[in-house]
Amino acid sequence: MADESKSGNNSNNLLRAIDVAQRLNISRSLAYQLMQSGEIPTVRIRNKIVRVFEPDLDQYILNSRTASQV
């Protein structure tokens, strides 16, 4: 089975916490905190596995921009 977090042709990729951390240039633990708090929406699989839809992460990044960055 292919790792869907690495394929670049699907805008609905499911990202792991480490993928989120790398995209945001933060620690994995901070990525987990953002995901757990609901700041970054997540998808739960079998109530154990947590993933983030790539478009949701993109939206989080856009929403996090300050007025000086626009």
Asked if residue 23 has pLDDT above 50, the reply is yes
- Per-residue model confidence (pLDDT) at position 12: 81
pLDDT-based confidence at residue 54 (cuts at 50, 70, 90): very high
Number of domains in the chain: 1
Asked if residue 56 has pLDDT above 70, the reply is yes
Q: Which domain holds residue 38?
A: 14-69
**Collapsed DSSP state (helix, strand, coil) of residue 44:** strand
pLDDT-based confidence at residue 66 (cuts at 50, 70, 90): confident
Residue 13 has phi, psi (to 5 degrees) of: -60, 145
**Per the domain annotation, does 63 fall within a domain?**
yes
**Per the domain annotation, does 60 fall within a domain?**
yes
CB atoms within 10 A of CB 20: 25
Asked if residue 36 has pLDDT above 60, the reply is yes
Retrieve residue 70's tokens. 């626009």
Q: Give the CATH number for residue 49.
A: 1.10.1660
Which whole-number Å values give the CA distances from 11 to 15, 30, 31, 61, in the listed order?
Answer: 11, 24, 20, 15
**Per the domain annotation, does 8 fall within a domain?**
no
